[in-house]
Amino acid sequence: MATTHDAHDTGKNRQHGLTLLEVAIVVAITAIGAAAAAPSFTALIDARRLDSAATRLAADIQLARSEAIARNRSLRLSVLTGADASCWIVHSGAAADCRCSSDAGAVCGGGARALKGVVLPGNERIGVTANVASIVFDPLHGTSTPTGTLRLVGARGGAVHHVVNVVGRVRSCSPDGAVPGYSPC
């Protein structure tokens, strides 16, 4: 009797799977693609962080103004810069009564009370500065004294400026229109 197993056995010895060389090529191509995408991904993250911080600061300026009116008490927004962090604090009392640090957040003494504080650690790659130490919001008229410009600067040089006028209103812009979504200053 003749058997037909010999014809079917030729396919059983074939190997299935990937060789080491094929896996190495796929890993190399993936690594090259990831290395090419990393700088643009980091730039996107930095841009989102800057935009988020700028939105928070603009909202907190309005918070200081509206809370001063609602509480019928002068409130201030202070901007502080340190070696390891920068921050802004909405608080009552004198400008020197509050401080911030990356580990403790906003800390006030001397009868001052912090309503809100935002700390930007140095490793977050965003910093806040201002041309005034603090801005006081008057409860009767909602005005601000003095007027000032608060600047948020990102790691890649992009910046957003919030200009607070005497009426307490905020105008936001970006120097040379470098940050999308903000008009040029």
> Which pair of tokens denotes residue 138?
């008057």
pTM (2 decimals)?
0.77
pLDDT digits (tens, 9 = 90+) for 100-134: 877 777 888 888 999 999 999 888 789 999 999 99
pLDDT digits (tens, 9 = 90+) for 43-97: 788 888 999 999 999 999 999 999 999 999 999 999 998 778 899 999 999 988 9
The domain defined by 19-184 carries CATH number 3.55.40.10: yes
* Helices of type H across 72-128: none
Give the chain's radius of gyration (CA, Å).
Answer: 29
Write down the domain spans for the chain: 19-184
- Asked whether 158 and 98 are in contact (CB, 8 A), the reply is no
Residue 64 to residue 115: CA distance in whole angstroms: 9
State residue 50's pLDDT score: 92
